[in-house]
Amino acid sequence: MYFQAAETIGPRLQLSQYMGFTTTSYPAICFYIHHHGAGHITRAISIAAAIKDFPVCFLGSNLKPYADLISSHIECIHLPMDVPLDDEPELPPAELNFLHYAPLGLEGIRRRADILTGVFREKYPMILVVDVSVEVTLLARLCGIPTVVMLQHGRRNDEPHRNAYQSAQLLIAPFSPVMASGGIAEEFAAKTFYSGGFSRYSNLNLSTNIHESPGHLAILTGKGGTSVDPEFIIFLANQCPGYVFHVIGQLAPEDAKAPDNIIWHGHQHDPLDLLLMCEIVIGNAGHNTVMEMADLNKRFICIPEERPFEEQEQKAALLAQNGKAVLVKASDLYAEDWPALLDDVGQLTPDWTNVINPEALLNIAEKLRITAEDLYLR
């Protein structure tokens, strides 16, 4: 048996690097959480909070920054990154069409597979919720572990995605049918569950816009990368001197030339009060950003960024087609007539009908419970 002592990453949280867990006869629900951005971990935290009676664990490479947000009853298992270490030699790649990412010779990948398969052995019986990775989904299936795959927007009708979807017990679309794009999900319709949208602001009943201050606008930037940089924000503020721009995220000007109508708030664990105050929000088309705008019933100017499989471009197009948001392409940021656009958007009545489902998280938890019980307890 090989395991190391758990590494403390917070006052309430243990980050187990290897095994040493106690196997229970009651199924565990484990989440594999992709490290990019904050969307995957935020979604997992929300879903896990609705799960009752089942042991829950998180597996991922970027859990430490969120230790204070993760419930103390959730076991967190750190996975090494799957990219080359400094000066690590990488074997020549081979062409693959059935996987997305499987480089040869990387220690991080060997260690990840070692830890994952150990978790599969020690936590069994279990199901694995994958958000998201084709390779982890297929590794689990090869180890005899049932998987639940979270669906994302984008063009995902390629062979690797199809393999993952085919191998899964259940596909969960964390959005409503009105936000579905068709395509690959239709092929697996019988195993796809549309939960409806949700966010950390679900069920707060804050959708009346009574807290808004005219002329105040939020610029919301996440951790996944954005074209809305300080240079553009300064340009925008100079173009629209009648607005006050509240910048939420890890952005700041490189010099002191920013106009006085910009307030740089920095990273906010919970920007709810700022979002409620602003009558318009500018942001990217990340899943959690979109769902938060829907929950808060905000006038939203959506700027999709380049992401794998055109995820944000497709989602933003759906928002615009359904009248949920105003779309501005990143390539048009400096060409847009911003004074006219902001005046027009300020006159709109937000309409996020049929996007949010107040019961979404409870319904997802119920689907996971049924899946686990059908497999192991009946």
| Helices 134-142 + 107-123 axis angle, to 10 | 50
Cis previous bond, 125, omega within 30: yes
Q: What is the rounded CA–CA span in Å between residue 14 and residue 21?
A: 12
Question: pLDDT tens digits, residue range 21-62?
Answer: 444 468 999 999 999 888 999 999 999 999 999 999 999 999
Poorest-pLDDT segment among 178-192, 227-241, 276-290:
178-192
- Taking the CA atoms of residue 130, residue 131, residue 136 and residue 140 in that order, the dihedral angle to the nearest 10 degrees is 0
Superfamily of domain 213-346: Glycogen Phosphorylase B; (3.40.50.2000)
At residue 181, the pLDDT reads 82
Question: pLDDT tens digits, residue range 91-125?
Answer: 898 789 999 999 999 999 999 999 999 999 999 99
Q: Where are the beta strands (DSSP E) in the chain?
A: 7-10, 13-16, 28-33, 56-60, 75-78, 126-131, 147-150, 170-173, 192-194, 213-220, 244-248, 262-266, 278-283, 299-302, 326-327
Give the three-state DSSP class for 324.
Answer: coil
pLDDT at residue 164 is higher than 70: yes
**How far is CA 94 from its chain centroid?**
30
Query: Are 78 and 61 in contact, with CB atoms under 8 Å apart?
Result: yes
pLDDT at residue 64 is higher than 60: yes
Give the pTM: 0.90
Positions of CATH 3.40.50.2000 in the chain: 7-198+358-376, 213-346
Superfamily of domain 7-198+358-376: Glycogen Phosphorylase B; (3.40.50.2000)
